[in-house]
A and B are shown apart, each in its own frame.
Chain A
Amino acid sequence: MSSETLDSIVILVGVLAASCFVIGLHYMNSPATARTGNRISAAGMSVAVVVTFLALVAREGGLSSEGLIIIVGGFLVGGAAGLFLALRVAMTAMPQLVSLFNAVGGGAAALVALFDYGHVVGTPEEDVSTAIFVVLGVVIGSVTFAGSLIASGKLQGLISGKPIAIPGGQVTTAVLGIVAIAGTLVLVLGAGESPILDLSSEVKILALLVIFAASLTFGVTMVLPIGGADMPVVISLLNSFTGTAAAMSGFVLESPLLIIAGALVGAAGGILTKLMADAMNRSLLNIMVGGFGGGEGTQAAMASEGGTVREVGVDDAAIQLAYAQNVIVVPGYGLAVAQAQHAVRELGDILEARGVNVSYAIHPVAGRMPGHMNVLLAEANVPYPQLKEMEDINPEFPRCDVALVIGANDVTNPVARTDPSSPIYGMPILDVDEAKSIIVIKRSMGRGYAGIDNTLYTNPKTGMLFADAKHGLEELIGAVKAL
């Protein structure tokens, strides 16, 4: 086959695959079609990979046996590892797995750019635009690689979820930035047929390796100071980075498919990151500066000025729930940490069997990622029509007899509406305080990661049930059954 025909086929298949990605993402608009969407996207990916492979074999000169071994062997090894992890991971550990896949994707993009530079350096193909895209691919890819590994380690508990101060902090960041910019200048000014700087290929490759090392270090120092509770936003941002890195390697390899797919993901991650940051009423800059979110385990005692707290016993709570007409469950981070999603579903089933209307109020950032709570509850077989988003459920609270808050804190704090001096003022919250009565299952009076007191807990309508989410729910289930 002539190489022109081959090129045309590859481009056309690229268009087909890119269309599959766009259509697949579009189908993710609705839970009913989302799975089909993912499969369309996967089909596009499979066709693209297979046709690229065939084109590499069929082109002039063919594929070397080493290349064949690397592609087939590498695919089997990587694919098996990915398959194993994807099938084995518990749904609660899913954010760190997404982060790990993010890391390898970014790493691959960085390696592709590194390799390509080594290949074209010193040849006429090494022009200014190639140098720029190589640097971008290497920088973004390796920042993502290192940063995602750290984020994954933090979520998995391998690295402390608390913000870790970097010695020298901003100075370190500034030095790394200067090193990367200097290296970039060397590559860009040294590129082209009549370069401004006439450097040997070895010097330029060395400069690229220095940029590579500086970017890896930067990825680590960027994520370490950020608290565990902010990790979802970071993962989302890094997801966007990986997409961009893939697009950059698309520019380097001059492959339209890589450019389109990478840009799509770059845009997706960007939107998601913004949505999440908005829902927390925090600017991205604020999060990236770090040190704010202590994550889990902020155990500050509640200030005494806030009024009295009424404790409620398991039996009282069970009676309130069992004889209510409408119950709204407000699950939060604490539920995810305690892995209590099955217990909450069981309680919901028992209450429904007694004729109680149960729905679930899902704050956009409940859990560890936007929509993570939906996944956890879906895993526990809670039918998704019962899961209500914030805008839909807020008007329902005044009509609700009991709001059951499980491990959710800041997203229920009324000061976000009432106190302009509060750090969370303006953050969209669930209007739990408007319910006729409120039961809060919580381990202690500890603050949420915003580190402020929740006036919901001192509301006269609120009864506090101090227990671990899972344990408390199991006791409630027992008590309701005994009624």
Chain B
Amino acid sequence: MNGEISLLGSLVIFVLAILVGFEVISKVPATLHTPLMSGANSIHGIVLIGGMIIAATASDLLGYLLAAIAVVFGAMNVVGGYVVTDRMLQMFRKRPATPKADPGKEA
């Protein structure tokens, strides 16, 4: 159907993706852990695509219902997740430095 690959190929991809995830994520500073959790949260909204695929396969009322709920849930996860992460990160900006009477110390 949609770009099928073998079971073994899938397992290889799965393991490598986990390792990449560990490697990329373990470098993120604690400051950004909450946005990161939220950002990762939006990525698992990819399950929306799963919902779309089953919506295309469904052929009876129950199937339509399951697919519809899955698509609604997935879309909520994706759209809401990215927007709320963006809102959070938008606030991590530098303010023009306020003049300080005691220079020399870190700003």
Contact = CB atoms under 8 A, between A and B. Distances in A.
Interface stretch (A41-49, A217-225, A418-426, A450-458): A41-49
Contacts of B95: 381, 383
A21 B1 contact: no
A320 B58 CA distance: 70
A73 to B, nearest CB: 8
Interface string A88-106: 0101001101100110110
Contacts of A28: 28, 32, 35-36, 39
Main secondary structure of the interface of B (DSSP, over half): helix
B46 A45 contact: yes
A105 B77 contact: yes
B35 A371 contact: yes
A325 B36 CA distance: 35
B47 A375 contact: no
Main secondary structure of the interface of A (DSSP, over half): helix
Interface stretch (A169-177, A239-247, A303-311, A461-469): A239-247
Contacts of B88: 91, 94, 375, 378
B88 to A, nearest CB: 5
Interface residues of A, number: 132
B102 to A, nearest CB: 6
Interface in B71-92: 71-92
Contact of A86 (B49, B55, B80): B80
A312 interface: no
What 5 A-B pairs have minimum CB-CB distances, sorted nearest first? A82-B80, A267-B21, A355-B101, A78-B75, A74-B71
B76 A104 contact: yes
Interface string B17-58: 111111011111111111111111111111111111111111
Nearest to B21: A267
Contacts of B21: 25, 263-268, 271
B78 A82 contact: yes
B37 A269 contact: yes
Given A25-B36, A82-B83, A261 B44 contact: yes
Contacts of A264: 17-18, 20-21, 24, 40, 43
A269 B32 CA distance: 14
Interface string A252-296: 011111111111111111111001100000000000000000000
B81 to A, nearest CB: 5
A430 interface: no
A108 B47 contact: yes
Nearest to B15: A263
Given A70-B58, A81-B76, A97-B80, A389 B31 contact: yes
Given A101-B76, A352-B98, A249 B107 contact: no
A371 B30 contact: yes
Contact of B77 (A70, A101, A253): A101
B39 A384 contact: no
A481 interface: no
B66 A256 contact: no
Contacts of A199: none
A29 interface: yes
A83 interface: yes
A79 B87 contact: no
Interface stretch (A111-119, A184-192, A407-415): A111-119
Interface in A19-37: 21-22, 24-26, 28-31, 34-35, 37
A33 to B, nearest CB: 10
A479 interface: no
A25 B40 contact: yes
A384 B94 contact: yes
A55 B66 contact: no
Nearest to A103: B73
A286 B89 CA distance: 33
B25 A25 contact: yes
A482 B35 CA distance: 39
A105 B84 contact: no
A95 B34 CA distance: 8
A24 B51 CA distance: 24
B58 A49 contact: no
Interface stretch (A61-69, A154-162, A440-448): A61-69
Contacts of A378: 88, 91-93
Contact of A71 (B33, B71, B89, B91): B71
B4 to A, nearest CB: 4
Given A239-B37, A259-B10, A7 B51 contact: no
Given A355-B101, A371-B32, A389-B30, A101 B3 contact: no
Contacts of B48: 49, 75, 108
A370 B52 contact: no
Given A82-B80, A264-B21, 7 more contacts: A28-B35, A81-B76, A87-B83, A104-B74, A267-B19, A372-B34, A374-B31
